A and B are shown apart, each in its own frame.
Chain A
Amino acid sequence: MLQLTGATYRYAGYAKAVLHEIDLRLDDGEIVGLVGPNEAGKSTLCLVASGLAPTSIGGDLTGSLTLDGTPAAGLKTHELAERVVVGFQNPNTQRSGIAATVYEEIALGPMNLGLSVAETVARTREALARLRLDHLVTRDPLRLSGGQAQLVAIASLLAMRPRHIILDEPTAQLDPAGTRLVGEALRSLAETGTSLLIAEHKTDLLDGLCSRIVVIDGGRIVVDGPTAAVFDDERLAGLGVEAPARTRLGRALAERGIDPAVVADAVAAASSAADADGPGIAR
Chain B
Amino acid sequence: MASRRPEPIDPATTGFGDAAALSAADAAFVAGLAPPAPSAYHRLNPMTKAVAATVESLGAFVIGGYLGPLAIIGLAVLPAAVIAGVAGRLVRISLLLTLPIAISVVLVSVFTRAGTTVLFTVGPFDATLEGVDFAGQTLVRLLAISTAIGLFGLTTESRSFVLDLERRGLSPRFAFVALATLEAVPAMVERASVIASAQRARGLDTEGSVRARLRGVLPLVGPVILSSLTEVEERSLALEVRAFGRPGRRALLWRIADSGAQFAARALMLVALLAAIAMRLTGTFPRLP
Q: List the interface of chain A (C-beta within 8 A of B).
A: 47, 50, 52, 56-57, 76-78, 81-82, 85-88, 90, 92-94, 96-98, 100-101, 103-104, 107-109, 111-121, 125, 138, 142, 153, 156-157, 160
Contact = CB atoms under 8 A, between A and B. Distances in A.
A157 B242 CA distance: 7
A116 B251 contact: yes
B22 A121 contact: yes
Given A98-B183, A111-B252, A117 B8 contact: yes
A112 B173 CA distance: 10
B237 interface: yes
A52 B18 contact: no
7 contacts: A88-B234, A97-B179, A111-B251, A115-B17, A115-B251, A116-B16, A118-B17
A96 to B, nearest CB: 7
A120 B251 contact: yes
Contacts of A118: 11, 17-19, 21-22, 26
Given A100-B35, A156-B242, A120 B21 contact: no
B211 interface: no
A112 B33 contact: no
Contacts of A116: 11, 16-18, 21, 251
A267 B263 CA distance: 69
Nearest to B172: A112
Contact of B187 (A57, A97, A115, A121): A97
B75 interface: no
B231 A93 contact: yes
Contacts of B239: 96
B174 interface: no
8 nearest CB pairs, A to B: A116-B17, A118-B21, A78-B246, A109-B242, A112-B243, A93-B234, A81-B243, A94-B238
Contacts of A119: 17, 21
A160 B172 CA distance: 18
A94 B241 CA distance: 10
B30 interface: yes
Contacts of B250: 111-114
A68 to B, nearest CB: 17
Interface string B13-36: 010111101100010001001010
Nearest to A120: B251
A84 B16 CA distance: 23
B185 to A, nearest CB: 11
B186 interface: yes
Nearest to B246: A78
A52 B240 contact: yes
B233 A57 contact: yes
B249 interface: yes
Interface of B: 8-9, 11, 14, 16-19, 21-22, 26, 30, 33, 35, 159, 172, 176, 179-180, 183-184, 186-187, 190, 231, 233-253
B17 A103 contact: no
Contacts of A57: 233, 237
A129 B216 CA distance: 45
A109 to B, nearest CB: 4
Given A115-B16, A118-B11, A157 B190 contact: no
B235 A97 contact: yes
Contacts of B237: 47, 52, 56-57, 86, 88
B242 A112 contact: yes
Nearest to A116: B17
A92 B179 CA distance: 17
Contacts of B240: 52, 56, 77-78, 81
Contact of A112 (B190, B233, B246, B253): B246
A107 B243 CA distance: 12
Given A77-B240, A112-B246, A117-B251, A104 B16 contact: no
Contact of B30 (A56, A76, A117): A117
A117 B7 CA distance: 12
A157 B238 CA distance: 10
Given A93-B235, A98-B180, A114-B251, A82 B187 contact: no
Nearest to B26: A121
B253 A117 contact: yes
A117 B17 contact: yes
Contacts of A92: 231
Contacts of A103: 30, 33
A52 B184 CA distance: 25
Given A92-B231, A98-B176, A103-B33, A117 B11 contact: yes
Given A93-B235, A97-B187, A98-B180, A117 B22 contact: yes
A52 B241 contact: yes
B238 A82 contact: no
A160 B251 contact: no
